[in-house]
Structure 1
Amino acid sequence: MDIELILLCIGILFIILSFFIGKSTRKSEEDIENISISLHQETNQLKKRLKAVEEELMIGVGPITNGQRRKTKPVHEIIVNQILSLKAQGYSIPEIAKRSSLPAEEVMEVLKSRGVAL
């Protein structure tokens, strides 16, 4: 009989403790959810910033309409340096155009403007 009474007391004690432990678990779940939401928002902001930077670097790339190319922006200095570096490494004009995402004519114009022999 003593063992049954002890087990009953332990059971009641665990039930009472579960109320206190359950509240802290809910708080932890809410904290994790808030952190997850803020992380998601920050990731979206970073994606938007990255997209803006990519659009700045996508110079001169656009669809051809009615056989005419839209007016292109000047080639960014980073891409010019990339073109010069690739030419110095021995890449051909079509390979450089493919790697720099520019038309071959524009690659040749950049090389000519920098005094590089074709």
Structure 2
Amino acid sequence: MNIAIILLIIGLISILASFFFGHSARNYEDELEKVSISLHQETSNLKKRLKVVEEELMVGVNPIPSARRSVRGHQRPSKSKPVHEIIVNQILSLHAQGYSIDAIAKRSSLSNDDVTVVLRSKGVVL
């Protein structure tokens, strides 16, 4: 037999087979769509839970003492800036890794004085 005739027969058989097995592929598409929807719903629920947890963490914000002192060495009455415990942990971690106070201040978006006060309050810098 000729190779072209064999290839033509194989092509016709595969087209006929696709009509019979095409419906099972449709079932897989439906299942995949259901899984995709449920994954989206679970992700949405996790985002909501994460938001609640973040709000609960923000409740524990404590003010740090001010680093500003007057000329005589007495503390000025000033507004203390609240520093979240997560940022305090970040400052301590960066200091333990050997970062300078300037680098820590840039990474934590605080002033150098605030970073120094946090480190002093934790007994790291004297």
- TM class by shorter chain equals 0.5 to 0.7
1:39 is displaced (CA, Å) by 2.0
Q: How does 1:12-91 map to 2 (within 5 A)?
A: 14=16, 18=19, 20-50=20-50, 56=57, 72-76=81-85, 78-91=86-99
Q: Partner amino acid for 2:119?
A: L
Q: Distance in 2 between matches of 1:82 and 1:109?
A: 14
Normalization by structure 1: what TM-score? 0.52
Residue 105 of structure 1 corresponds to 113
Q: Distance in 1 between matches of 2:87 and 2:94?
A: 10
Q: 1:33 to 1:102 in 2, by over 3 A?
A: same
Q: Partner amino acid for 1:29?
A: E
- Between stretches 46-55 and 22-31, larger displacement belongs to 46-55
Normalization by structure 2: what TM-score? 0.50
- The answer on whether the counterparts of 2:116 and 2:125 sit within 8 Å (CA) in structure 1 is no
Can you give the 5+ residue segments of structure 2 that lack an aligned partner in the other structure? 1-8, 63-78
Q: Report Cα offsets for 1:67-108 as digits up to 9, x if no partner.
A: xxx9754431x4333323333444222211122333333212
Q: Distance in 2 between matches of 1:43 and 1:74?
A: 30
Can you give the 5+ residue segments of structure 1 that lack an aligned partner in the other structure? 1-6, 61-69
